[in-house]
Amino acid sequence: MSDEPRRPTAVPEPPAADDVVEAAATLDGYRRATTDAGVVDRSASGKLALTGADAAEFLAGQVTADTVALGPGEGAYAALLTPKGKIVTDLRVLAAGDELLILCERSGLQALFTHLRRHLIGFDVELHKRTLERGLLSIVGPRAGTVAAAVAGGVAPGSGEHDHVAATVEGRPVRLVRTDVGVDVLCDAADTDDVAAALERSGARPIPEATAEILRVEHGRPRLHHDMDDATMPAEAGIVERAVSFTKGCYIGQETVARLHWRGRPNRHLRGLRLERPVDVGTVLVDDGREVGRVTSVVTSPRHGPIALALVRREVEPGATVSARPVGEQPVAAAVTALPFAASGGRAPA
Which residue range forms the structural domain that includes residue 164? 38-215
> Within a domain: residue 51?
yes
> Within a domain: residue 301?
no
In terms of DSSP H, where are the helices of the chain? 17-35, 55-60, 106-118, 144-151, 192-201, 209-219, 234-237, 240-243, 254-263
* Tens of pLDDT, residues 279-320: 999 999 999 999 999 999 999 999 999 999 999 999 999 999
Of the two residues 190 and 16, the one the predictor is more confident about is 190
> Within a domain: residue 221?
no
> Within a domain: residue 250?
no
> Within a domain: residue 236?
no
> Within a domain: residue 195?
yes
Predicted model pTM = 0.91
The tally of domains found in the chain comes to 1
What pLDDT, on a 0 to 100 scale, did the predictor assign at position 141? 97
For residue 123, give the CATH number of its domain. 3.30.1360.120
Q: What are phi and psi of 218, to 5 degrees?
A: -55, -40
* Tens of pLDDT, residues 157-181: 999 999 999 999 999 999 999 999 9
Yes or no: say if 338 and 272 are a contact pair by the CB < 8 Å rule: yes
Span 232-237, average pLDDT: 98
